[in-house]
């Protein structure tokens, strides 16, 4: 599962300002909190996370300030949330295309917050269609019908 997406130049600069030069993970966050399609990214550094969109940092925080990171699925979308000072906080909202990816991200954030060794490796190939970019049906060169 790809957890290190390439960032556009402006978003990369904003991400480095927010979390530092060492970006460990970067994944698309393709919905705004209001539900509109956007080209945003959640980036995770050594001890901070940030949500960047169009070259600006929209939200950021220290990973250790929160706990119980989890992905909460809804109809057609999902949110990554965490408990911070006893209150639930929504970090990002994503389409179902990225929901499984955020399951891994939630586990990584929980491990980082608890200072545990991260046991999720980011070296699995993720086959995609060269024409539309959609995920291929395992063992084929075809995209699932929508």
In tens, the pLDDT along 23-77 reads 999 999 999 989 899 999 999 999 999 999 999 999 999 999 999 999 999 999 9
- In the predicted model, what is the mean pLDDT of the chain? 90
Contacts of residue 83, Cβ cutoff 8 Å, sequence gap at least 6: 66, 67, 68, 89
Q: Residue 122 — pLDDT band, cuts 50, 70, 90?
A: low
- Whole-number pLDDT of residue 136: 75
Number of Cβ within a 10 Å radius of residue 78: 22
Confirm if 23 and 52 have CB atoms less than 8 A apart. Answer: no
**Average of per-residue pLDDT across 77-89:** 95
The CATH number of 9-113 is which of 3.30.460.10, 2.30.30.280, 3.40.50.1970, 2.30.29.30?
A: 2.30.29.30
């Amino acid at each position: 599962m790809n957890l290190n997406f390439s960032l556009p130049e402006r978003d990369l600069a904003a991400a480095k300002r927010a979390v530092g030069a060492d970006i460990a993970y970067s994944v698309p966050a393709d919905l705004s909190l209001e539900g509109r399609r956007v080209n945003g990214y959640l980036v995770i550094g050594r001890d901070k996370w940030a949500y960047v969109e169009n070259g600006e940092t929209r939200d950021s925080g220290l990973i250790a300030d929160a706990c119980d990171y989890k992905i909460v699925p809804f109809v057609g979308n999902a949110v990554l949330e965490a408990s911070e000072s006893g209150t639930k906080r929504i970090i990002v909202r994503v389409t179902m295309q990225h929901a499984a990816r955020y399951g891994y991200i939630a586990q990584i954030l929980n491990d980082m917050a608890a200072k545990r060794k991260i046991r999720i490796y980011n070296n699995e190939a993720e086959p995609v269609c060269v024409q539309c970019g959609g995920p291929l049906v395992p063992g084929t060169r075809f995209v699932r019908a929508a």
